[in-house]
Amino acid sequence: MELDKTISKLFLANDDSWLKHANPWSVWSRFATLPFIVLSIWSRVWIGWYCLIPISMLVVWLWLNPTLFAKPKSYDNWAAKAVLGERILMKRKEQPIPRSHAKAVIILNTLQCLSGLVLIYGLWSLNLNLTFQGVIYIYLTKMWFLDRMVWLYESSSSTQ
């Protein structure tokens, strides 16, 4: 099983979770968590091992978030389409996706990983500039990825 599917199963266990996560409140509240994670990790300088408390709370938040919100009344918004596009991507073994989307996903996931490495190094070395750049790069590549998922969803739903 691919890493993306393993992570997906951990956070979005079933189709109902996916549909709840398509609620824009779920998408955007989860999306806004990264700066809090960064701050929690950085707080090791001030509070030592107690930084694990907010880090743990944020991990639990990320895990619970997709189930906390109701299914949206409409899936006709950017955030919902991004989530539904990700769902299509996760089911690509059963229903292959166009090669152009698959190639873009590989490129964007690679860029997200590289961005994550910049962020991790910035946090490890307590380099504020690299930490900030890592956050910006992650957000830019994640938004680009989500926009690609909207495109995948719209192209898939127009062919069905």
Q: So what's the pLDDT on residue 1?
A: 43
**Angle of helix 3-11 versus helix 52-68 axis, rounded to 10:** 80
CA distance 125 to 20: 38
What predicted TM-score, i.e. pTM, was given to this entire model? Answer: 0.84
Closest CA to 86 of 8, 149, 37, 141: 149
Q: Is the pLDDT of residue 157 over 90?
A: no
pLDDT in tens, 92-134: 888 888 888 889 999 999 999 999 999 999 999 999 999 999 9
Q: Give the count of alpha carbons within 13 A of 116, CB side only.
A: 9
Rounded to whole angstroms, the Cα distance separating 142 from 138 reads 6
Number of other CB atoms surrounding residue 31 within 10 Å: 16
Rounded (5°) CA angle 135-140-144? 145
User: Does 27 score more than 90 pLDDT?
Assistant: yes
pLDDT over 70 (residue 28): yes
Report residue 158 as tokens: 């127009």
Which residues span the domain enclosing 143?
3-159
pLDDT-based confidence at residue 9 (cuts at 50, 70, 90): low
pLDDT at 33 over 50: yes
Residue 43, SS3?
coil
Count how many domains the chain has. Answer: 1
For the chain, give the mean pLDDT: 89
* Mean pLDDT on 19-37: 93
